[in-house]
């Protein structure tokens, strides 16, 4: 069985899909047989993968290939079978965890790693903190990934301290960079260009998560 990374956060727009896409491209680039699984009915992850495949066929034949399956909470085990059938499965989920508390809980317990992307505002904290505590009460050890972060400002340090007081925080935070969203429209990531300033933190995040699940990058 392969490893599964679940990306979950009750707060919308915290970067679940963006992080899922980037980790999938990192994993494929490292030579792993990785797949994405998209549980969000809005299908941001799988639509991105379709756009990527279309671009790859027409314009960028050398671009790293990705495969993203669509799944539903009703049949979450099938989605998990697809994720764990590869050497690494990256599972993107929707923000409305309340509508599938039981399924999300079971999926979190089944995953090798649960990443919880979070912005660096009090609103993000207020939404995400109860979810961290709920996961912990099930024996899961989620790791908060601070996203769209400005590590120099006081609010970032305060939010980080609050999360450190209750659980684990990823040592890599992702800065707020245009490239994260501008590249995604064409099914790309900022890893598909050598020029982006965002490459280093994304690669650092990949190093962290791949080691956390016991995969040493090729």
Residues that bind ligand ATP (CB under 6 A): 9, 12-18, 40, 44, 94-95, 147-148, 174, 176-177, 180-181, 184
Per the listing, tokens 């993000």 go with: 124
* In the complex, least distance from residue 19 CB atom to Mg ion, rounded to whole angstroms: 9
Q: Burial, 9: exposed, middle or buried (Cβ in 10 Å; 0-12, 13-18, 19+)?
A: buried
* In the complex, least distance from residue 113 CB atom to ligand ATP, rounded to whole angstroms: 17
**CA separation (Å) from 66 to 92, 94, 163?**
14, 20, 33
DSSP 158-173: HHHHHHHHHSEE-S--
Distance from the Cα of residue 115 to its chain's centroid = 6
Q: Give the binding range for Mg ion (CB under 5 A) out of 39-47, 50-58, 69-77, 110-118.
A: 39-47
* In the complex, least distance from residue 200 CB atom to Mg ion, rounded to whole angstroms: 24
Pure H helices in the chain: 16-29, 44-58, 76-85, 101-110, 122-137, 154-166, 178-182, 199-212
Identify what 148 binds: Mg ion, ligand ATP, none; CB under 5 to 8 Å per kind. ligand ATP
With contacts defined by CB under 5 A, how many residues of the chain interact with Mg ion? 3
* In the complex, least distance from residue 97 CB atom to Mg ion, rounded to whole angstroms: 13
Residue 3 or 148 having the CB closest to ligand ATP: 148
The answer to whether 11 contacts Mg ion (rule: CB under 5 A) is no
Question: Which residue in 8, 17, 147, 196 binds Mg ion (CB under 5 A)?
Answer: 17
Residue 40 or 215 having the CB closest to Mg ion: 40
- H or E element that contains 193: none
* In the complex, least distance from residue 207 CB atom to ligand ATP, rounded to whole angstroms: 17
From the CB of residue 95, how many other CB atoms can be counted at a distance below 10 Å? Answer: 18
């Amino acid at each position: 069985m392969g490893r599964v990374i679940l990306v979950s956060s009750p707060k919308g727009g915290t970067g679940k899909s963006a992080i899922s896409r980037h980790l999938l491209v990192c994993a494929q680039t490292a030579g792993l047989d990785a797949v994405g699984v998209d549980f969000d009915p809005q299908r941001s992850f799988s639509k991105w993968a379709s756009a990527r495949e279309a671009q790859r066929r027409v314009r960028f034949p050398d671009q790293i290939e990705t495969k993203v399956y669509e799944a539903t909470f009703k049949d979450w085990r099938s989605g998990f079978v697809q994720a764990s059938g590869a050497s690494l499965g990256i599972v993107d989920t929707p923000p409305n965890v309340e509508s599938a508390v039981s399924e999300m809980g079971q999926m979190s317990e089944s995953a090798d790693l649960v990443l919880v992307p979070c912005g660096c505002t009090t609103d993000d904290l207020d939404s995400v903190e109860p979810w961290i505590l709920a996961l912990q009460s099930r024996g899961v050890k989620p790791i908060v990934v601070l996203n769209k972060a400005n590590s120099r400002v006081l609010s970032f340090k305060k939010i980080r301290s609050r999360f450190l007081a209750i659980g684990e925080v990823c040592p890599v935070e992702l800065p707020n960079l245009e490239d994260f969203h501008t590249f995604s429209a064409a099914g790309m990531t900022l890893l598909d260009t050598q020029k982006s300033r965002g490459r280093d933190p994304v690669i650092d995040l990949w190093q962290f998560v791949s080691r956390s699940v016991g995969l040493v990058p090729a």
